[in-house]
Amino acid sequence: MPTREYRGHLVSVNDEGFMTDSGQWTREVAEAIAEEVGLTPLGERHWQVIDFCRQDAAREGQPPGLRRISKLSGVAMKELYELFPKGPGKLAARLAGLPKPKGCI
Amino acid sequence: MKNLVILGAGTGGTTVARRLRRRLPAEWTVSVVDPEPLHLYQPGLLFLPFGARDEAKLQRPREKTLRGVRWIRQAVTRVDPDSKQVVLAGGERLGYDLLVVASGARTVPEETAGMLGPEWGRSVHEFYTLEGALALRGALAGFERGRLVVDVVEMPIKCPVAPLEFLFLADAFFRRRGLREQVDLVLATPLDGAFTRPTCNRVLGHLLESKGIRVETEFATQEVDADARRLRSYDDRELAYDLLVAVPVHSGAAFVEASGLGNELAFVPTDPATLAVKGHDDIFAIGDATDLPSSKAGSVAHFQAEVLQENLLRAVRGRSLAPGFDGHANCFIETGFGKAILIDFNYETEPLPGRFPLPVLGPMRLLEESRLNHLGKLAFRWIYWNALLPGRPLPVTTRMSMLGKKRPAIGHDATEKGREHAHP
């Protein structure tokens, strides 16, 4: 399992860059990951989504899917795509230190 | 007297009702609640748009499919888990000792802006209902040039390979009529590939490419501009069409939401191995109604039914539940020109090549096109009505078997990574 250093914090990640231990997450780590993916600076609305994802994952035991985020975080789908371009579900989970949301088959 | 109440008489509800009626102790009554008088064989809908005329054979009266079971022909308003009662649309209350939610998934085109409107059934279609498939049959018969877009709006959907099958059959349909050069076929999907599992994705991706079908990936539909005949995505991509075949958002039953038993799409949070509804020891769920990451497909409901039968009997006797369900799915994928691919997989193992159900002998080939697989798909209708629904044994094991399957030589991506494949 590769390890990366984000602002002095060593974190374990998988080969797609998702953290494998959400206990290693800090807000500084999130900011560094945001920098890495070209998503800076993180604004208040980004944090609203990231905080929701972390709280929801702690409750439910799995990262929320995109529809769940748009329904419950207070940030609507259109804005999610503006805040986290391309794949907001995947990107928000990555910034929140959570696994990639599982696909439904 | 004790009551087992089953909400929904589709594939899962019907087979569980008929299995349990024969096996429960004498003081138990099995009741099924479903307002619809006819049982629809859903896999048959796929062929109707391309000229199949066997719609009469796709439906059977529920008096027959529910033979021997008490059938309450009413809609459900909500479930009240505290008083262990089901509130029916007529206002009556039905008490239960054990409850099974088998109310399936439905399409909700109204969830997508612009999808419903004057063009619905004209240039905007779907094939998940009998009326929809028949309207599309009329539209395809008159479609001679232009771009046909199949748009998967959001996952999960019933039978995740159906949109691909639709495009393979459309390719064959237009080739046979000498129109393929004039028809552009496009799949728009929110996924990052044609299918949700890597190995299968490669096989199906190649097949799409070889048939000249373009895939627009990570396309999250925001709205349908039906007047301009354009789809618009949340990231502001536009996709023009002449004929739109939508795979609308899917949702669980309205009563699931009204009862507080559902997630954000009204699918019921369910234990992936025991099929007990999370937080309730007297409620179970089966089939498309669950939130499980297994396919929403008839074969899955069948495998779940074997596990659910065991666990309902255990619950009746006050014994602990068996974690028997492994996510097993077994699907025939129509690829056009009388051929099909067979895939067999579960939560952990993605579709692998090989033979099925026996090594070398087969007779079916896995993850490969063959005529026999197509015949298998056609034969399945008989099996569905005569063995699957009544709960008679099928020659397929409940848990997925590795017999006859070839593991890839290098790497682990056939097992673990399959589950990580995600949509946006």
Tens-of-pLDDT digits for all 424 residues of chain B?
A: 999 999 999 999 999 999 999 999 999 999 999 999 999 999 999 999 999 999 999 999 999 999 999 999 999 999 999 999 999 999 999 999 999 999 999 999 999 999 999 999 999 999 999 999 999 999 999 999 999 999 999 999 999 899 999 999 999 999 999 999 999 999 999 988 887 677 788 889 999 999 999 999 989 999 999 999 999 999 999 999 999 999 999 999 999 999 999 999 999 999 999 999 999 999 999 999 999 989 999 999 999 999 999 999 999 999 999 999 999 999 999 999 999 999 999 988 888 888 888 877 778 889 889 999 898 888 889 999 999 999 998 878 888 988 888 887 654 444 433 333 344 4
Does residue B371 sit in the same domain as residue B408?
A: yes
User: Half-sphere exposure of residue B138, counting CA atoms within 13 Å on the CB side?
Assistant: 10
Do B294 and B397 belong to one domain? no
Residue B416 is predicted with a pLDDT of 38
Return d(Cα B370, Cα B375) in angstroms, integer: 9
B258: domain CATH number? 3.50.50.60
Amino acid at residue number B313: L
Residue B326: the pLDDT is: 95
B115 and B242 part of one domain: yes
**Residue B329 sits at the chain A interface (C-beta within 8 Å):** yes
d(CA B278, CA B163): 31
Q: Give the closest of B191, B222, B234 to A103, CB-based.
A: B191
Using the Cβ of A72 and the Cβ atoms of chain B, whether some distance falls under 8 Å is answered with yes
Whole-angstrom CA distances from B19 to A91, B306, B309 are: 45, 9, 7
CA B248 to chain centroid: 13
- Dihedral sign for Cα A94, A97, A99, A104, please: negative
Whether B424 is covered by a domain: the verdict is no
Whether residue B244 sits in one domain with residue B170: yes
Answer yes or no: is B324 within a domain.
no
What's the token pair of residue B284?
Answer: 């179970």
pLDDT (0 to 100) of residue B409 = 61
Provide, as residue numbers in chain B, all residues whose Cβ is less than 8 Å from the Cβ of A100.
420, 422
Which chain A residues are within 8 Å of B419, Cβ to Cβ? Answer: 102-103
Closest CA relative to residue B34, chosen from B85, B100, B84: B100
Nearest chain B CA: its distance from A86 CA (Å): 7
Check: CB of residue B166 under 8 Å from CB of residue B150. yes
Tell me how far apart the alpha carbons of residues B268 and B290 are, in angstroms, rounded to a whole number. 5
Distance from CA of A66 to the nearest CA of B (A): 7
Per CB-CB distance under 8 Å, the chain B contacts of A77 are 220, 222, 234
The distance in angstroms from the start CA to the end CA of chain B is 49
What does the alpha-carbon distance between residue B16 and residue B98 come to, in Å, rounded to a whole number?
A: 13
A24 to chain B nearest CA, in Å? 21
Q: Alpha helix (H) ranges present in B142-197?
A: 162-176
In this structure, the answer to whether residues B157 and B214 fall within a common structural domain is yes
Share of chain A above pLDDT 70, in %: 96
Helix (H, G, I), strand (E, B) or coil at B305: helix
Pair B188, B69 in one domain: no
Please judge whether B422 and A90 are an interchain contact, meaning their C-beta atoms are less than 8 angstroms apart: yes
Cα–Cα dist B385/B130, whole Å: 18
Same domain for B224 and B114?
A: yes
CB contact under 8 A, A89 and B422: yes
Please tell me whether residues B95 and B169 are part of one structural domain.
Answer: no
Q: How many domains does chain B have?
A: 3
Shared domain check, B312 and B267 = yes
Q: Residue B233 — left, alpha, or beta (φ > 0 → left; ψ -120 to 50 → alpha)?
A: beta
Distance of CA B56 to the CA centre of its chain: 21
pLDDT confidence tier of residue A103, bands split at 50, 70 and 90: low
| Per-residue model confidence as pLDDT tens digits over A30-50 | 999 999 999 989 999 999 999
Q: Check if A104 is active-site.
A: yes
Domain carrying residue B342: 329-419
In a domain, B203, yes or no: yes
Pair (B233, B262) in one structural domain: no
For residue B93, being part of any structural domain is answered with: yes
> What are residue B339's DSSP bridge partners?
B336
- The Cα of B168 is separated from the nearest Cα of chain A by a number of Å equal to 19
Which of B218, B250, B282 corresponds to the end of one domain? B250
Residue A61 pLDDT exceeds 90? no
B297/A contact by beta carbon, under 8 A = no
Contacts 24+ apart (CB under 8 A), B171-177: B171/B211, B171/B212, B171/B213, B171/B336, B172/B50, B172/B336, B172/B337, B173/B50, B173/B51, B173/B140
Chain A residues touching residue B295 (CB < 8 angstroms): 105
Given the structure tokens 């990107």, which residue do they identify?
A: A91
- B112 and B239 in a single domain? The answer is yes
Can you count the helices (H) and strands (E) in chain A?
5, 2
Three-state secondary structure string covering B349-362: CCCCCEEEEECCCE
DSSP assignment of B361-395, as one string? TEEEEETSEEHHHHHHHHHHHHHIIIIITTT---S
Q: How far apart (Å, rounded) are the C-alpha atoms in residues B276 and B314?
A: 12
Domain end point (choices B231, B250, B269): B250
Question: Among partner residues B160, B234, B265, which is closest to A77 by beta-carbon distance?
Answer: B234
- B235 within a domain of the structure (yes/no): yes
B322 located within any domain:
no
Contact check, Cβ <8 Å, B422/A102: yes
What is the Cα–Cα distance from B266 to B289, expressed in whole angstroms? 8
Query: Does residue B216 sit in the same domain as residue B346?
Result: no
**Residue B72 in tokens:** 């309450």
Chain A contacts of B192, Cβ < 8 Å?
87
- Is B321 contained in some domain? no
Structure tokens at B257: 């939401």
Q: Could you tell me if residue B157 is inside a domain? A: yes
Number of C-beta neighbours around residue B349 at 10 A: 21
> Which of these is catalytic: A15, A23, A61, A104?
A104
Could you say which of B250, B278, B303 is where a domain stops?
Answer: B250
Tell me if chain B has a CB within 8 Å of the CB of A71: yes
